[in-house]
Each structure stands twice: as structure tokens, then as C-alpha cells.
Structure 1
Amino acid sequence: MATKTKKAPAIDIGIKGSDREKIVHGLSALLADSYTLYLMTHNFHWNVTGPMFNSLHQMFMGQYTEQWNALDLIAERIRALGHPAPGTYHTFAKMTSIKEVEGVPQAADMVRHLVAAQEATARTARKLFPIVDEANDQPTADLLTQRLEVHEKTAWMLRSLLED
């Protein structure tokens, strides 16, 4: 006796399918940037050396932990909009706007790379606002606002380390 699988009902949350697709495309780019930033920050946490080792090691740990938790929020929003979330290095590498850092930079250069990556991630989030606003998608707008606040504040804090 064959069992029939039932199809899930169509998504009807007040956002057109074509708008959800555009939003998911932007969120997928944000997820790619966020994952790349997470990986860079964790790498620098493992490999930082020098007179500021302890403070940077601890700071980077706080940052990569926050970033790790954000990945789930972004991916789950993609899923709530009815699409699969990207989740491979290959896909992230194609979608990210952040350049991978080769080797192990000096501590100050790590901070510079992280400032640039935080700002790039903020720009990716900000680019999505017009689409989200047009679609009347408040949950995604809220997520973007939260992510922007974190990335801009973190970039400022890191940038402050580079001032004389």
C-alpha cells in the first residue's frame, strides 16, 4: 500500500512570491558575508599574537560568538520566506563581498581586515532595505536593523583600536 505524501500549503503571508525571492537573494548575500566574517574573526582569534594578544583574543571571541548566533537568525528568515538557505563554502565564496585573507596578518592588520569586513557586511544589509520596504516585510527589516547596529558598532570599536 503506497502512502501519499501531502504537499505543504502555499505560503500566504502577505508578501508576493516574487518579492520573497528578491528578499531571499539579498538575505543569502548577507548570510554569505556574515559567514565569511565569522570565519575570518574566528581565524584571527586563533592566530592573533603580540602585545595586545589577550584583549584581542577575548574581543574576537565575543565577536565571532555573536556572529555565529546571527547566522541562524538570517538562515531561519530565509526559510520562513519559503526558500532553502545556502550553506556551503562554495556558495558562500561565490556570494560574499568580503575578500578572504591569506596567511596570518599582524594584529593591527587583523583589526583593519575586520573593520573592512564589518563595513562590507553592513553595506550588504543596507542594500536590501529598499526591497524589504517595498514588500512591506517588517520582520526582515527588523533583522536588518539589528544586524546593522551590530556591524556598525563593531566596526567603530575596531577602528578605535587603530587610532593614536
Structure 2
Amino acid sequence: MGISVAIRRLWCFFTKTCEVSYVDFYITASLYNAILATEKEVSKKSICHFFSQSPYTIPKRHIQVFEQGNKLFYLCIKFYDQVKRKAFKEKIQKNTEIFPFWIAFPDNFKGAPRWQQGYEQQYSKVFLDYWKSLSSDQQKLYMESYNCPIEWQDWLREYTQKNL
């Protein structure tokens, strides 16, 4: 870190003029697999370690990890530098495939009591937005690659027809 950067950070700290912003997101399937390959496990600790290393180099104290379901982690990362925040967000947005709802919450189903509560409610919107972004061929491939249960296949087919 250059001397001018260090001085700027100290100035910001003492004058409270730094703009703090956040990037929050669910770990995508490809990021999950990259963390697993690199760290040999996916946990709060391994996720913080992964993002503290190159190419991300985010201080661990700026990373909050919330485990919300099976293979489902929600991150909130603090940035003081808007250029770094923008670059990080661009890297993250390249990874779009999320885990399907039936993987993240294997004991839950659309219409079940927890579907519209807590983490499940938030993730159901994220999942359905992702689902709608896929072409019909991509949807079929997605269901095949994640061994979509029959109940979900039927429900997603109906949902897709209603939302055309």
C-alpha cells in the first residue's frame, strides 16, 4: 500500500468522510465450487479466506457470511473504495447460476409454511428471477443437472406457463 493511500485512509478514519458501501449476494454455484476446490470445504471461515486471497483481496473483517441453507451462503462485503467495489461487483456478476430452491432447502416446497417466511421467502424471489432469465432449453438443462424432483418439475412448468 502506497504512503498516499495510507494517509488517505487515516484522514478518512479521523474525519469520517469515507463513503462506505456494501455488496451483498448469494454465493453462486460456480463460486461455491471454486471455494470447495480451493479451500477443500465451504464454511464461513473458508469463504472469508477465499475472498481475502487474490484476485479479491478483501480484508476478512469486511466480510460477513450468513449460512442460510444447504450450500446457501449470503455475503455482505464492506467497501471503502468505490473503484474496488465496482471491480468486485463486475467479477461477481459473471457468475450467475444459483443453486435451485430444492437443493438450498431440500425439506421445503412451494406452498409449504416456510416458503413465505425468512430466508426461504428472500431466496424464492432470487431463485424465481434466475429461473425466468433462462430460456426453455436452459431451464430443462438446469433441472436435469440438479436432479429436479417431479413435484418441482410440475410446479415450475405451471409457473412458467402462468408467467409467459
TM-score by length of 2: 0.29
Higher relative contact order (CA 8 A, sep 6+): 1
TM-score by length of 1: 0.29
Which structure has more helix as a fraction of its residues?
1
Which structure has more strand as a fraction of its residues?
2
